[in-house]
Amino acid sequence: MPPGPFPLPILGNFLQLYSDGLLPGLTKISKKYGPVCTVYFGSRPTIVVTGYQALKEVFTDSGDAFLNRGAIPTFDRLFKYEGLSFTNGDEWRQLRQFTLHTLKDFGMGKKSFEDPILEEAHHVVEHFRNLNEEPFEPSTTLICASSNVLANILLGTRYDYNNKKWMEILQKSRESFHILSSVWGQLYEFFPTLMKCLPGPHRKIFTFLEPLENELMKSIEFHQETLDPACPRDYIDCFLIRIKQEEKNVGVKTPFTIRNLKASIFDMFLGGTESTAVTVNFGYLILIKHPELQDKLHEEIDRVIGQGREPKAEYQGKMPLMNALVHEIQRYSDIFPMGFSRATNRDISFHGYYIPKSTNVLPMLTTALRDPTHFETPEEFNIKHFLDENGKFHKNNAFLPFAAGKRGCIAESMVRMQLFLFFTIILQKFTLKSVVDPKVLDISPTESGIENIPPARKIIFIPRTLEGGA
């Protein structure tokens, strides 16, 4: 096994990590023991992988050995090892292949998928205009907007920003991520058996997510009652049709069940809604922190698109500054710094160490996004990380916010399109302004655990003057 700090019975390396905080603690340990080291989460040994080169080997070079989902006690309790992200082996392969094909059939990665994103962006613009330049904390609106893009393709519906019930469901979902990233969530990851029996805020993680789970189950039941196999409306319909097809194969085990359907859309809703909304939220904070950058982006938007035309994904290649901005926001905000746990599906030799089958492997995505050998100023927001000396956009191999390989984010192309269009349209229509001096504005995460949580800051959305004086 790779080297690491000496673990105590039952506690493992909890004391070392608790004193520094989980994320800084793991980073500190990896600097001492190398890019592949062993850390004990309670009694559970976990191989912590850091730095772009080692992560690349886990995701792609030796990717087939690390394809299983590792233990994540909170999510294991939530999803019960079901659904797209929490199954393994042939069951996972079938679900992933089906989901990829279905999402592509509904436009993911294609020009046609712009329409629901653009529609939602226009609702956001209208919402911000109606504020009449009143300072506003946008996180709840952003999570609803992000959820609607997914609701369109998964459920075939859209929720209004004034839908009190849906907004409360999303608010509780957000709060569950806040607790999950706090010390209480970290304690649950170390000692799940013990924490199940103890009172505390960690219990709210599960109660706060029940309303979303119930709402998605109601949607599945509605789809079952109104299903027309000849005319599938969305992902749920396609999955239900596949369930009926599989029923003909009597005696053959299939992953196409209602339980896996519910877990899959629950997973995609949680991950896709939260990550995109938080990235946009962080992006807004970065823009009000750096008002001089907005001026340059406004100039590029006005030159390439103008005020009269609608932004399209096809403009991305002509807008190196906006493209670089979106990438640097993702890199700097570092939404899921520790990635999601993998597990070895066989005994392997890795970096000269023996790692047994079913060992947890934690890919620290943050260490690629902040790898000093790939980013000149890794701890600072610097749009030049994605611009060459001529001001043209250039890719960076260490840009891994979606992970990579066969277990990488299934909706990466959709998220990329959504972020580009959301930032472009908002900056086409508004100037974002801080309510305090940008020099003293603190945009550091309020929690850093499984997720980096942005601080709640009010923003003033000032409409830009349209061409022709409108």
Q: 389, 86 in Cβ contact below 8 A?
A: no
pLDDT value at residue 39: 96
Whether 81 maps to a domain, the answer reads yes
Q: Which pLDDT does position 20 carry in this prediction?
A: 80
Residues 6+ apart with CB under 8 A from 146: 272, 273, 274, 276, 277, 280, 418
Q: CB 441: neighbour CB atoms within 10 A?
A: 15
At residue 88, the pLDDT reads 94
Q: Would 224 be classed as within a structural domain? A: yes
Predicted local distance difference test score (pLDDT) of residue 468: 37
End-to-end CA gap in the chain: 67
Query: Is residue 372 assigned to a domain?
Result: no
Return the CA Rg of the chain: 22
State whether residue 396 is helix, strand or coil: coil
Answer whether residue 341 is part of any domain: no
- The domain in which residue 164 lies consists of 73-330+377-469
The residue with tokens 């970096």 is 351
Query: What pLDDT shows up at residue 448?
Result: 82
Per-residue model confidence as pLDDT tens digits over 236-271: 999 999 999 998 887 788 999 999 999 999 999 888
Nearest to 47 by CA among 405, 374, 339, 400: 339
Task: Show the low-confidence residues of the chain (pLDDT under 50).
Answer: 467-470
Tokens 């939260």, residue located: 274
Residue 66's alpha-carbon distances to 47, 92, 146, 321, in angstroms, are 11, 13, 30, 36
The count of domains in the chain is: 1
| DSSP bridge pairs for 348 | 355
The predicted structure's pLDDT at residue 469? 35
Average pLDDT value for the chain: 92
Q: Residue 396 CB: number of other CB atoms within 10 A? A: 17
- Look up residue 435 and give its two tokens: 């309510």
Whether 358 is in a domain gets the answer no
> At 393, is the secondary structure helix, strand, or coil?
strand
Query: Hey, what are 127's tokens?
Result: 């919402």
165's tokens: 């019930």
How many residues does the structure list for the chain? 470
Taking only the tens place, the pLDDT of each residue in 297-333 is 999 999 999 988 999 989 999 999 999 999 999 999 9
Strand pairing class (452-453; 447-448): antiparallel
Residue 125 domain-assigned? yes
Output the domain CATH number for residue 214. Answer: 1.10.630.10
The proportion of the chain whose per-residue pLDDT surpasses 70, expressed as a percent, equals 97
